[in-house]
Amino acid sequence: MTEPTATAPYVPPDALAALVHDGALDAELAALLSLTIEGAIPLVVAGGQAAGRRRVRDALLSLVPANHGIVRLAGADEDFAWLPEAGELGWRSNGTVSPGMPGAVMVADLEEAEAGTWGGAAHLAIRALTAGCSLIAATGGTRLEDVLARLGAPPVAASDDELARLGVVLVLADADANAASAPRVEAAHYLRPVARDPGGHVQRMPPAVLATRNRASGQFDHFAWGVTAELAARTGRRPIAFEREQARRAAAISVAAIG
């Protein structure tokens, strides 16, 4: 494994620093998300008002590396012609041959709203995670359980094993009466994909909590240490190197957020 190395100061995108400045999340969680998104771990932003979750999603989209192709799904009009595996994944084929987009990051609103990606198209977007694609999406739901229930029920009907590939799920606070208020992350969860142990037995691990906002203090309590080794492996780092890089980025994000 060729481990990424830090050769220059980390400069966070302005949109990420703005989220921390506005209190949507803290520097430690922002640094963690920068590593997971760079490592092509999918991300779903749920809850809150639609405008708020899209703002958080689009800000985090700035963390996608420049060498990863970005595909904004066209809602009901999406034909997945860019995805060669679409037919194998159960989507209708129009008979064309696509050159493909290795490492593509899909951007979508997984909801029934106008221009949203829903039904079979949403199911295929989730299934495409098995074909090496990633996903940064916004969706409804005020708890992780709500998100999984909505996407697991018809007409999307994604299976539990498919939903386990959704990666990080950020749950925002309930919609505020003031539509202009800044979105606020209340909890961050990590869905762990199905794996096999050395004996070949299927292992289904429960979701892990990465961070929650302490309602008394307004600060975040962090728990990602419980899955550091797993996240590090998925991003091509050793656990100790992952932790050090997260700390390095958190310090830089803190400074940028103040400025």
How do 134-139 and 105-110 pair as beta strands?
parallel
Mean pLDDT over all residues of the chain?
90
Q: Are 136 and 37 in contact (CB under 8 A)?
A: yes
Residues with Cβ < 8 Å from 188, sequence gap 6 or more?
25, 29, 32, 33, 168, 169, 170, 171, 209, 210, 211, 212
Q: Outline where the chain has alpha helix (H).
A: 14-21, 27-38, 50-61, 119-127, 144-152, 160-163, 228-234, 239-258
pLDDT above 70 as % of the chain = 91
Q: If you average pLDDT over residues 36-64, what whole number do you get?
A: 94
Rounded Cα gap, residues 97 and 205, in angstroms: 37
* CATH fold group of domain 14-258: Rossmann fold (3.40.50)
Asked which of 201-205, 208-212, 229-233 is least confident by mean pLDDT, the reply is 201-205
Predicted local confidence at residue 208, as pLDDT? 97
Predicted local confidence at residue 93, as pLDDT? 58
Q: Are 10 and 248 in contact (CB under 8 A)?
A: yes
Q: If you average pLDDT over residues 24-36, what whole number do you get?
A: 98
Its pTM surpasses 0.85: yes
Confidence of residue 174 (pLDDT cuts 50, 70, 90): confident
pLDDT above 90 as % of the chain = 72
Residue 172 clears pLDDT 80, i.e. is over it: yes
Residue 143 clears pLDDT 60, i.e. is over it: yes
Q: If you average pLDDT over residues 104-108, what whole number do you get?
A: 95
Higher pLDDT, 203 or 7: 203
**Residues facing 206 on adjacent strands:** none
Q: If you average pLDDT over residues 92-119, what whole number do you get?
A: 78
Query: Which tens digits make up the pLDDT trace of 63-73?
Result: 999 888 899 99
Higher pLDDT, 54 or 95: 54
Q: Which of 211, 250, 193 is nearest to 17 (CA)?
A: 250
Give the type of residue at 72. R
Q: If you average pLDDT over residues 11-27, what whole number do you get?
A: 96
Q: Which of 64, 66, 55, 9 is nearest to 35 (CA)?
A: 64
Query: Which tens digits make up the pLDDT trace of 214-232?
Result: 989 999 999 999 999 999 9
Q: Are 107 and 61 in contact (CB under 8 A)?
A: yes
Q: Are 66 and 51 in contact (CB under 8 A)?
A: no
Higher pLDDT, 178 or 220: 220
Q: Are 257 and 17 in contact (CB under 8 A)?
A: yes
CA distances from 187 to 143, 210, 258 (A): 9, 8, 23
Confidence of residue 177 (pLDDT cuts 50, 70, 90): very low
Higher pLDDT, 101 or 223: 223
Q: How many residues does the chain have?
A: 259
Predicted local confidence at residue 101, as pLDDT? 59
Q: Are 90 and 125 in contact (CB under 8 A)?
A: no
